[in-house]
Structure 1
Amino acid sequence: MTMQFEPNQLAAAELADRYIEIVLSTKPELLLPYQVTSSNEAYEYAKVLAEFRQQLISGFSNQPLPVLADD
């Protein structure tokens, strides 16, 4: 069974991923407040980050998509 995604969901996921990438590469302490020292902490941070990503996708997918001009 394959999942079908709406264009706005795919665009929102891409935007969320870019946002998270920018934050992690410039100010990682905003998403990871201290050094991860155990696998349990890593698991918890991964879980929190995945939930944050889903919240971003939900919020972004409710926004109108920009209309791109054809070249």
Structure 2
Amino acid sequence: MDERGALGRNVLHFRSVRKWSQQDLAGESALSLRYLAGIERGEENPSLATIVAISSALEIPAWALLHPSYDDFRREN
């Protein structure tokens, strides 16, 4: 499984649900826009503290960002 890809897709999903831009989420989570964009593209390897900052800004549990999507699960099985 591509964990960074799954994390990035989940961040993008939950950000989109809130109708936030990347800039909105970057500001709320105190991250740079460039770093957040890299997380969404699966290019960055964020620390647990960063994952918690993003989840707190989105008002969701951190595990929700780490959970593989259904499509990832289906592809593996």
TM > 0.5: no
Task: Give the alignment's TM-score, normalised by structure 2.
Answer: 0.34
State which structure, 1 or 2, has the greater radius of gyration over its C-alpha atoms. 1
Task: Give the alignment's TM-score, normalised by structure 1.
Answer: 0.36
Q: Which has the higher contact order (CA 8 A, sep 6+)?
A: 1
Give the number of the structure whose residues are more often helix, by fraction: 2
